[in-house]
Structure formats: structure tokens, C-alpha cells
Amino acid sequence: CMTPLVDRLKERKLVQWALAYLAGAWVLLQVFAELRDTFAWPPIIVRAITVLLAVGFLAALVLAWYHGEKGRQRVSGPELLMLSGILMLAGVGVAWVGRDAGATPSGTVQARGTALPASAAEADRRSVAVLPFDNLSRDPDNEYFSDGITDEILTTLANVSDLRVISRTSVMQYKGSNKPLRQIASELGVAHILEGSVQRAENQVRINAQLIDARTDVHLWAQRFDRPLQDIFAVQSEIAQQIAQALQAELSPAEQRRIERAPTTNLTAYDYVLRGQEFDRRGTPHDADAAISLLRRARQLDPNYPEAHAALASAFGAYVKFNSSAMWSDSALTAAQRAIELDPELAAGYAELGWLLEARGDAQGALKAHLRAVQLNPNHSGGLANLYHYSFGRLDEAARWWGPALKADPTNGWHQWLAGRTYLELGTPARARPHLAKSLELNPEFWWPAYNLGIASLLEDRPEEARAQIQRILATPHPVPIKFYHAGNLATALGDSAAARRYHEQGAALPSAWPSGSLALAWILKQSGETGRVRELLQNAAREIEANRRAQPNKSEHDMDLVRLRVLQGNREDALRVMETAVQKGWRFVYDWPYDPILNSLRGDPRYDRLMAEVEADIARMRARVEREGW
């Protein structure tokens, strides 16, 4: 009795259709899985595609049954009914995979507190902040070890693209804090908190960790690990995987591989790296010496330890910031490249490489390296490439990255400042102001945001607020030339030439005078006929500008310093030629140009007016895009 059915299946080629469809679907899934790893797509995309392919299989069988024999059958009522049902099934399936992934798993502890305020309740459901683990060891010198374990777990979790993990800069300020977890989560904009403790005794380590839903105060997961020190990497991997599972995050094969990888088999080298990183973060020349010494020893013990090379690149890079030494820059670059050679999937290696390439003037290479860091680790706030887009004058692209950067590191004063400055450059001072104010709140000794707030106040016709920012700049403790240059610029904009001269004189008296400050002072002295000092200032500025342009040939700001120099030297033709080069390189940083008397002296020249119109039109285009996209 089965023979007629079998014959009909053969006639309609149902088996051939099914096999062909399954083979094609399998190939598509492999392609999509590979694309997901490459482009860091959220797992829901692959899940939805899987559901659609499964439902599509049913549709293929229906089509095969009705059309597989000769392909001449008209569409029938039953066929339409069946296809409609299948489409409804597809809709239900896609909705199911996109369901609320933040539902509390079964078996959790009953809530002990009240819900978070709306700002945190609206946080990403798979967002987590790893608070500094407490050091319970008898030796307080083991603090570096507990901080290092915190960093390792945070970094491991940050490699999971399905999670949003707050960066170290933002979480470390809560070390030793007595703030309620609800408040910390709200300030960081996350839904979950991971906290714990580390106790080290000789060759044993005990790690306690617990994951808490800060919206409800429910403990989602908690565990104690008592292991030999040699198992420390396995413990870190296990914690990360259990956290990902508790938050219902999906790991790609590449992410699973990175999480399970042990960076070294030499525990002494690992200890040196933790100690070296602790010294490096302190940010002084003396601490950089200690960091380099420790990290060199780690490299000697395990030459194939990629994280040791990346950390060494960072420590060498500190010397580049301190004294711009080419020797240290070469050493840092070699270390970063070696880290990447040893581990092509190490985001920290690409982030260090990006910074070093930018310092050398290779903005394109820097951008490429940082984008690779973000591709490998979507939570790598330091590698989110905004500063490098900004250096090209691509202000809209910079604004595009600020959302993810500030989500990953919400209390980073440097990032808040750059976000504010980007919006100021786009001609939106009202939008810039909250970021600049936040930056000053987080770091009151940082004078750059105060200068930008002063310019924003002038653009919004608030001269008294601008005047107050001058005092704020001068009150910061660091005696650096650029600080006095900023104070002098604001004084000039406010029409106080005596104060402007005083501030620029203070900057010029310091070592390594800022060339823009020397030019600003030269302009003031030129008005009063002090030609001897003007000549001296211009000679000094010319040397500094030439050195800067040689070190960073793609940086348009150095070209604009040369434009100002040529104007003061009376060479308008060359000034306009160099300005055209700067505009072609991406100079779009005109937020304070209305208050620059040197550039303003070129107004009325058709070539200057044409260049400025071109710049302003491009900024208007970028501003419209930012507003349209909601960045």
C-alpha cells in the first residue's frame, strides 16, 4: 500500500529537492557563521537566519510536492493555505529568537532590594561591570595580583561580542567604594555587577565571584574556586564562560577559542606582567622604569608571551609621551608588532600599534590598527578609533564611534572631552557642553575642556562664563605652555589684550614652548612694534613647526601652524598654499577660528574665503549626517 506514495514521491522529486535544499542551507550557515566572526555581528542574526532556513525547508517541500513533477500545476487553495501557515510559523520563530534574553534564570535567589532607577533599568540586558576584586591575602603587597585577576577576567569577558563590558578606567574608581551596587550600576549604565575577592597563599589561590542583577539585587551566579596557582588561567576562563552562560550570551567559535587560550605556561612571567602593568598605569617616568624592568624579565622568561610584548609596548610608549624619544618609539613599535605576530587576535597589540602609528604621523595605519582592535574586542574603549577619525577631519565618523566608546567607558574624562570637542567642531556647542562639563567633573585638573567650554560660551554669547573658564584653566596645577596659550586665546577673544599678553608671556617662558603660543605672542608684540622679540619668537616657532611636520607629516594642525607663521612673516602666498594643503589633508578644526587674529587677517582674500567656505560646507554636511543618524 506504500508503493503508490513512494512512486508519487519519486515523480515529484521530493527527495532531490530536500537534499539540494539541505546542502544549500548548510553552506549558507557556514558562510554566515564566518561573517559573524569577521564583522562581530550579534548572535541573533545567525539565530534568525537558522530559523528562517528551517521554516524555508517546509516551504521547499510544499513547492516540490505541487510543482516538482512537471512544473505546470497552477497554485491551488491548499498550497496557498499551507504556505501562509509556514510564513506565520517563520514570524513566530523569528520573534522567539529575539525574545527578552534578560529573563532571570530559574533557581536564582529571591530579590533583596528595590529596582534600579530608569536610567539603569534601560541598560543593555547583557551589560556587566567587573568591580575590582578585594585582596584578602595576608600580604597587602598582593594588591597588584587581585587587581590583575580583575583585569584578566574583565578582558576575557570583553572578548565576547554578545556582552557589553565596562572598561577598566571606569570600574577602578570604585575600588574600595562603599556605594550601593544599585548606585554603581546606575552610574555605569549597566544591568549586572560582577564582584569578588582573591586570596593568594604560596602556590594556592582562592577566588570568590558572584554575579548580581543590579536591577533586582538577585544573585544570578556565585562560586568559589580553590585551585593551584598554575590553574589560574583555567579559572579565569571558567568564570568568563559561566558569566556568559548566566547572561545568556552566545560565544562564537573564535571567541570560545580566545577565552580558553592560556597566554603563557610560565607563572613567574605572568606575575611580572601583572606587576609591570600596575607600575605602567601610574603614569610617571619613575614608574615606567620599574614597569619596563619587570616586563623585560617577563619577556626573557617567555619570549612567546604576547601579552608581555603588548604591555612592554605600552610602557615604552609612556616614554614617547614623556620626551618624544625616537629610540623609545622604535622599541615600542617593535614590541607591539611582536605581540601581534605571536597572537594575531590580540586586541591590545593592535591598540598599542595604533597609538604608536598615530604618534609617528601614520594616521591611516593608526586607523586601520584601531579598527582591527575593535573588531577583535568590541568592548575595547581605547581602540574605538574616534581620535583617529577626528585627526582626518572626519567629524561625523568620530561622532559615530562616541556612543560605543562612552558606553564602554562612561567615566573616562579623556573620552568625554574628545566627544565634547567633536560636537563643538561640528558647530553644536549646546550638545558639546554636557560632555565638556562631565570631563571637568571627572578630572578637574584637565584644562582642555575648560578652554573648549570657554569657546562654547563665546559662541553662545556668554562672555562672563568664558571669563570664568580662564580662571579655571589658570587654577590647574600643571605649568605647561599650552595651558597659558588657551588662557591667552580666551582673553584675546574677550578683548583683554593686556591679559592675553601676560598669559602668552608665561607660556613662552616655559621649556618646550608651544609653537601656537609663540605665534600668538608674536602677533601681540608685532602690534606694539617689538620687532626684535618678534623675530626671535618666529625663529623658535619655525624650528618647532618643522620638527612637528617632519614627525607627523599627515597632521593638518601642524600645517596650520605654518600658515600662521607665514602670515606673520608677510608671505601670504605661501600661507594660502599651505592652507590649501591642510584642507586637503582634512583640516576641519575651525571652532575657535573666529577668535584667531592671525587667520582673520586673511579674510577678504578670495582664496582664503573660498577655502573657508569649502571647510564650512563640509562641516555642515557632516553635522547633517550626525543629526540624521542620531549619533
What is the pLDDT at residue 349?
95
Helices and strands (DSSP H and E) totals, the chain? 30, 6
For residue range 275-301, list pLDDT tens digits in order: 999 898 887 778 888 999 999 999 999
Measured CA to CA, the distance from residue 182 to residue 190 in angstroms comes to: 10
The residue-averaged pLDDT of 377-384 equals 74
Q: What is the DSSP string of 538-598?
A: HHHHHHHHHHHHHH-TT-HHHHHHHHHHHHHTT-HHHHHHHHHHHHHHT----TTGGG-HH
What is the pLDDT at residue 110?
32
3-state secondary structure of 369: helix
- For residue 504, what pLDDT band results from cuts at 50, 70 and 90? very high
The mean-pLDDT minimum among 7-16, 111-120, 225-234 falls in 111-120
What is the pLDDT at residue 71?
47
Higher pLDDT, 510 or 54: 510
- For residue 375, what pLDDT band results from cuts at 50, 70 and 90? confident
User: Which residues lie closer than 8 Å to 250 by C-beta, 6 or more apart?
Assistant: 43, 47, 162
For residue range 72-110, list pLDDT tens digits in order: 455 455 544 554 555 555 555 545 544 443 333 333 333
- For residue 596, what pLDDT band results from cuts at 50, 70 and 90? very high
What is the pLDDT at residue 220?
93
Higher pLDDT, 483 or 380: 483
The residue-averaged pLDDT of 591-600 equals 91
Question: What sign has the CA pseudo-torsion 329, 335, 341, 344?
Answer: negative
The residue-averaged pLDDT of 66-76 equals 51
Measured CA to CA, the distance from residue 285 to residue 477 in angstroms comes to: 18
Please check the confidence at residue 68 and state whether its pLDDT lies above 80.
Answer: no
For residue range 514-543, list pLDDT tens digits in order: 799 999 999 999 999 999 999 999 999 999
Higher pLDDT, 66 or 587: 587
**Residues 101 and 125 sit within 8 Å (Cβ to Cβ):** yes
What is the pLDDT at residue 61?
62
Please check the confidence at residue 383 and state whether its pLDDT lies above 70.
Answer: no
The residue-averaged pLDDT of 337-356 equals 94
For residue range 150-202, list pLDDT tens digits in order: 999 998 998 888 899 998 888 998 998 889 999 999 999 999 999 999 999 88
- For residue 3, what pLDDT band results from cuts at 50, 70 and 90? low
The mean-pLDDT minimum among 50-54, 83-87, 116-120, 509-513 falls in 116-120
Distance of CA 128 to the CA centre of its chain: 17
Q: Residue 553: phi, psi to the nearest 5? A: -65, -20
For each of the domains in the chain, give its residue range(s) and CATH number, in order of start: 3-97 (no CATH), 118-262 (3.40.50.10070), 479-631 (1.25.40)
The residue-averaged pLDDT of 400-421 equals 87
Average pLDDT of every residue of the chain: 83
What is the pLDDT at residue 546?
92
What is the pLDDT at residue 16?
64
